[in-house]
Amino acid sequence: MAGSLTNRARVLRKMQTDDERKLWARLRDRRLNGLKFRRQAPCGPYVVDFLCEAARLIVELDGSHHGMPDQIEHDDLRTKHLAELGYQVVRVWNVDLRSSLEGVLDEIVATANLRLNPSSAPSGHLLPQGEGIPREV
């Protein structure tokens, strides 16, 4: 089965969409914050669009067909299975990539940083109740 996944990944790499090509140009060669990504990478029983193994992060680019009920159900099951393997899946709509590439990249970096440095993540409110509010004297 691993061989067939690898072969499928190779085929998908050759057939990448314009949107995948656009995102890959920004992710490859550690161009995004030094994060190492692989594209069309086998992961568990799936081939995922982009994988950062160090952060256990998967980025999936979704076209309009991912909005169809059967595909939503399939994607949910796939995401749940990948989460059970310890990965977080970030789903990006193609339209969002086209309209806000920098915003998508910011989201990927922020998610990766939280996964790489969980202790630096804010918990609860940033300021205790009442602090940060100017008081009249």
Average pLDDT, the chain: 86
**What share of the chain has pLDDT > 90, as a percent?**
64
For residue 5, name the pLDDT band (cuts at 50, 70, 90): confident
* Statement: the pTM of the whole predicted model exceeds 0.85: no
What pLDDT is attached to residue 49? 95
Enumerate domains of the chain plus CATH numbers: 2-116 (3.40.960.10)
What is the C-alpha to C-alpha distance for residues 24 and 93, in angstroms, rounded to an integer? 15
4-18 burial by CB neighbour count: b if 16+ within 10 A, else e?
Answer: ebeeebeebeeebee
Q: Name the residue type at position 64.
A: S
